[in-house]
Amino acid sequence: MNTLPPDAPSSPVPRPIAITQGDPAGIGPEIIARLFVHQPALARGCVVVGDEGTMRRALRCVLGGELAWPVVELAHWSEWAQCPPRCLPLLCPPALADASTGWLAPWGVVDARAGRMAAQCVEHAARAGLAGEVLALVTAPLHKEAMHQAGAPYGAYPGHTELLQSLAAEHQGKPVAQVPVRMMLANDDLRVVLVSVHVSLRQAIAAVTFDNVLETLHIAHRSLSQILGREPNLAVAGLNPHAGEGGLFGSEELAVIGPAVAAARACGVEAVGPLAPDTVFMQARRVAGAPPRFDAVIAMYHDQGLIPVKYLGLDQGVNVTLGLPLIRTSPDHGTAFDIAGSGRADPSSLFAAVAMARQLAGCAV
Amino acid sequence: MNTLPPDAPSSPVPRPIAITQGDPAGIGPEIIARLFVHQPALARGCVVVGDEGTMRRALRCVLGGELAWPVVELAHWSEWAQCPPRCLPLLCPPALADASTGWLAPWGVVDARAGRMAAQCVEHAARAGLAGEVLALVTAPLHKEAMHQAGAPYGAYPGHTELLQSLAAEHQGKPVAQVPVRMMLANDDLRVVLVSVHVSLRQAIAAVTFDNVLETLHIAHRSLSQILGREPNLAVAGLNPHAGEGGLFGSEELAVIGPAVAAARACGVEAVGPLAPDTVFMQARRVAGAPPRFDAVIAMYHDQGLIPVKYLGLDQGVNVTLGLPLIRTSPDHGTAFDIAGSGRADPSSLFAAVAMARQLAGCAV
């Protein structure tokens, strides 16, 4: 392990972006290693939150026979600026350091310890984000089952979003229900914000309520206003084919979605809809040479939004959690246990997530 | 009106493709006129089923100040081959000729008479298709409300598909339920076959039954075997996010879709699934230089399939009705009453529908 010399200056430096390593048995650590090795400009100002052994193994995996990069362990976030080039700056959460005895998670295996490590990294980075010590969080993929096996307190959270929401609520002294969040998926062509995420299609229909649609519109409006530096122009998809065709194919457009759009507009949100789901994404797609008609589409359920975002390929998709009191982006893929450690994992989506975090944080670190 | 000389030879000629004019108040007639004027090779062997006044007006709309093309009215399908170049061959259904007194449907207006004319053209062409007098049908768009206003017998059919299904059942002496059909949408990148079409999303979930999914697989397998000249490789989308994630987000994959795929495979249908809906279309998309993994995707509901087909643009989308005892294709758009008569309608999808019909009919007329 390398540590910085004790006499390193501690004068104020720009705050870094925290990248959590994700499940150590998955591809998270190696795509993060690729970021530092292949995209040093993009990685500048980023600090990995994880454990040294995992990141050293990831660097070896990426570098092959080349001379391995040192992992430089930081004691404080502000030390990132002192990390020399061709080194990977790492902050190990105290809980992790206490528990870790050099154990390395076997690649591609669901393991409670690995799940726990991954969650501890997220918690540590999130607390730093909420305290204003880091500018933004980029989270590499967790494995849901491993986190579930990790037990209390992490096992109760289905994924990153719920854990972050809970930490934010605790930080703000509010009930979780008062920190509503929404998932935005974005790539170079399209942004979609989802009314619901990981529930059955049946439950997703039940979640298309006036309050949920209106809240989604408000969250999207606020967040995209920050992101774009101007008020966004939102399209709202219907739930049913042809947006219900005037009530022939379902009533939610007339009873719920239309009134929610009207209520949002009355508050100054620029939104149109409900529009036919099968053409609204095409209309919102950015095509070279023409400005898109809409800055984002509000999608009524998971696949309605994710099918068009993923249709042209997964490389550039980024997940952004809207509504949190911190900036959080993540790649649009999972742990890919089947190829972990093979060096074949495509880091493009992580690169895009880091670029998006930098943009959202307004940073030119 | 021009008619062919009475001494024209009536020797056997290849059967033509019938193109129904669609609602005369919509863009159907003018995109058909564009086909003949701009794509004579593609139009060769095609006969318009409609009325002379409507098609003359459409030709004037398309040709502007140029010398108008004559409309040549045929008495029999086989006369198409005697139609000179730079003429539009037309067959007027007797019912239409009886009722028509030179009335022209006002552009862009829902009208019972226009709806009736459109439906009569479809019926005439379909009966010719069922009798083996034409190779295939290409149908320009109907206006559902105008057809509804047309009254008995047409008003009872929500659209083309149900009317054609009913005529086919009558022709075969079967109940309509024994002529199951499915809609396939196809463009250069992707083919999708839909389990259900114009019903609410709630009803579409209810339609995801073992029998419906299995029937869709059999129809897709049979039809695509004819189209491709080999057995197709089918992907089956799930209904819920992540195809239910092992039952966490819905049970239909385990209870219904998986068993239907297994039953189809037991009958020799090459099919895999249920696969995650948000990535299956991406996997089936044809990308230059690489063969697609699947020949078609079975989609569980309207928007699941149509969002990816339409995402890259509407120009080339073609609708094919699978399961009928005749070939029927149509453009993937409606009557566009708002621009009818302006000459601005994009004929690309009709061109693609004609090309697809020619391909399905195996014709090089």
- pLDDT per residue as tens, chain B (365 positions): 455 555 444 456 889 999 999 999 999 999 999 999 999 999 999 999 999 999 999 999 999 877 889 999 999 999 999 999 999 999 999 988 777 668 899 999 999 999 999 999 999 999 999 999 999 999 999 998 999 999 989 988 988 999 999 999 999 999 999 999 999 999 888 999 999 988 999 999 999 999 999 999 999 999 999 888 899 999 999 999 999 988 888 999 999 999 999 999 999 999 999 999 999 999 999 888 787 899 999 999 999 999 999 998 766 789 999 999 999 999 988 899 999 999 899 999 999 999 989 988 876 44
What are the chain A neighbours of B303 within 8 Å (beta carbons)? 241, 277-278, 304
Which helix or strand (DSSP H or E) is residue A354 part of?
helix A348-360
Nearest-CB residue to B306 (from A203, A278, A302): A278
Mutation target among B252, B278, B282, B293 for the A interface, most CBs of A within 10 A:
B278
Task: Decide: helix, strand or coil at residue B270.
Answer: coil
Minimal-distance CA residue of chain A relative to B239: A201
d(CA A189, CA A316): 10
Chain-chain contact of B249 with A200 (C-beta, under 8 angstroms): yes
The DSSP secondary structure of B217-265, one letter per residue, reads HHHHHHHHHHHHSS---EEEE-SSGGGGTTTTT-SHIIIIIHHHHHHHH
Which residues, numbered 195 to 254 in chain A, qualify as contacts with chain B under a Cβ-Cβ cut-off of 8 Å? 197-205, 239-242, 244-245, 248-251
The DSSP secondary structure of B89-130, one letter per residue, reads EEE--HHHHHH-SS--PPTT---HHHHHHHHHHHHHHHHHHH
d(CA A262, CA A312): 33
Question: Residue A329 — left, alpha, or beta (φ > 0 → left; ψ -120 to 50 → alpha)?
Answer: beta
pTM, rounded to two decimals: 0.86
Nearest-CB residue to A303 (from B197, B241, B312): B241
CA of A304 vs chain B CAs: smallest distance (Å): 7
**Contact assessment for residue A346 and residue A315, using Cβ atoms and an 8 Å cutoff:** yes
From the list B359, B171, B195, B357, the residue with the least C-alpha distance to B273 is B195
What are the chain A neighbours of B285 within 8 Å (beta carbons)? 311
**Contact assessment for residue B320 and residue B354, using Cβ atoms and an 8 Å cutoff:** no
Minimal-distance CA residue of chain B relative to A307: B278
Reported for B261-266, long-range contacts at CB under 8 A and 24+ positions apart, including other chains, are B261/B213, B261/B217, B261/B236, B263/B210, B263/B214, B264/B214, B264/B217, B264/B218, B264/B221
d(CA B143, CA B110): 8
Q: Is B286 on the interface with A (CB under 8 A)?
A: no
HEC-encoded secondary structure of A6-64: CCCCCCCCCCCEEEECCCCCCCHHHHHHHHHHHCHHHHCCEEEECCHHHHHHHHHHHHC
Per-residue model confidence as pLDDT tens digits over A109-132: 999 999 999 999 999 999 999 999
Q: Which two structure tokens, joined as six digits, stand for B272?
A: 């895999």
Minimal-distance CA residue of chain B relative to A239: B201
- pLDDT per residue as tens, chain A (365 positions): 455 555 444 456 889 999 999 999 999 999 999 999 999 999 999 999 999 999 999 999 999 877 889 999 999 999 999 999 999 999 999 988 777 668 899 999 999 999 999 999 999 999 999 999 999 999 999 998 999 999 889 988 988 999 999 999 999 999 999 999 999 999 888 999 999 988 999 999 999 999 999 999 999 999 999 888 899 999 999 999 999 988 888 999 999 999 999 999 999 999 999 999 999 999 999 888 787 899 999 999 999 999 999 998 766 789 999 999 999 999 988 899 999 999 899 999 999 999 989 988 876 44
Task: Count Cβ atoms below 10 Å from residue B88 Cβ, excluding itself.
Answer: 27
Q: Which two structure tokens, joined as six digits, stand for A318?
A: 């980024």
d(CA A121, CA B64): 70
* Inter-chain contacts counted by CB atoms under 8 A, chains A and B: 111
Tell me: cis bond preceding A153? Omega within 30 of 0 counts: yes
Beta-bridge partners for A185? A192, A319
B161 Cβ contact list (under 8 Å, min separation 6): B181, B183, B197, B321
Amino acid at A131: A
CA of A214 vs chain B CAs: smallest distance (Å): 21
CA of A329 vs chain B CAs: smallest distance (Å): 20
CA of B291 vs chain A CAs: smallest distance (Å): 15
Task: Count Cβ atoms below 10 Å from residue A12 Cβ, excluding itself.
Answer: 7
Q: Which two structure tokens, joined as six digits, stand for A143?
A: 């494995």
